[in-house]
Amino acid sequence: MTVFYSAHGATKVVSRVRFEIDGRQDISSEMTELGVSRALVLTTPEQAVQGEELLESLGVNGVGIYSKAVMHTPVDVTQHAVAFARRLNADCLVAIGGGSTVGLAKAIAYHTDLRQIVLPTTYAGSEATPILGQTENGAKTTLRSERVLPEAIVYDAKLITGLPVSMTVTSGLNAMAHAVEALYAQDANRLSRELALSGFKAFAEGLPALVDTPSSLKLREDTLFGAWLCGTVLGQVGMALHHKLCHVLGGTLNLPHAQTHAIILPHATAFNEVGIPETLEPLAQLLGSQTAGGGLFDLSKRLGAPTSLKSVGVSEDDLQKAADAAVENPYWNPRPVTREGIRELLQNAYEGQRPTSGSTT
């Protein structure tokens, strides 16, 4: 089945979204739709073989491959990739991969305004947002711009059936984090809340089933749709404490992106649940738990996701530095953020303790 969605901005169609089994085999039609003919394929080093296969399928429409995308979109890698794209006279980017590759495509587009066609292979959801996160000198910053939103997204469930179960779980929890923050965003509205709840439900129901049957195309397509919902809603509203902490930890300690989101999500949720229990109650109900934070922790543990910062290489000495950075230029948050409160949150996340929603630090 092929499903198309499009969203119109003030000056251009900012996204054409296609859900199609084997859609990866028909990228040239997307290029024709966009009026481009010289594609630079982007991947991580680990997915270079997929990139080469895609480049071959493009025939004369493919001009080269750049397979140096890495986590957190370092500015120096972007600069190198921009120069490479210009040398090849590319007029569009075809990114196949997860958040690292999509991030690089968005960063290149920000500097060149090249059209983007994205084929996601994880549930990161960043392909559906006008948000770019990038790192320089050990710090991660974000920006919003229509220039970075891909013009076309092709969701092909076959591309994601081989995603290892462990990455399926953490990537799915990363997507759920977008939905959680959208529920209590400062600029949340009825539409954003409905999108968030639908995306969250797709993973709350789909992830446990995928652990048992990871090759199911139906489950993969359903959860890819959830990823699009979660990414889309994140692009419509502001981010809060959860993303601030993950940006700090990822940028300063170079932690794995999806795993960091999976670990922090229950704790950031529980922190905010103290002040807005009624807002997060629908999540607790979907999880079959008395609290949203506790329910997310239980889900993570049941799915075999990492539940402690210690397990991904964080030292206890890193916690104070992270707490200090988190309260500098903080994102808006529904509950006041204090250094002591964040330090307590991070300590619990470091130790992998099941969070409660009763702390008022």
**Is the pLDDT confidence value at 13 over 90?**
no
What is the tens place of the pLDDT at every residue in 114-146?
A: 999 999 999 999 999 999 999 988 788 889 899
**pLDDT for residue 153:** 96
What is the tens place of the pLDDT at every residue in 148-183?
A: 999 999 999 999 999 999 999 999 999 999 999 999
φ/ψ of 175, rounded to 5, equals -65, -40
**Cβ(224)–Cβ(19) below 8 Å:** yes
% of the chain surpassing 70 pLDDT: 95
Q: β-strand 139-144 against 39-42: which pairing, if any?
A: unpaired
**pLDDT for residue 10:** 37
User: What structural domains and CATH numbers belong to the chain?
Assistant: 3-159 (3.40.50.1970), 165-351 (1.20.1090.10)
CA distances from 350 to 175, 181, 317, 319, 338 (A): 21, 21, 11, 8, 18
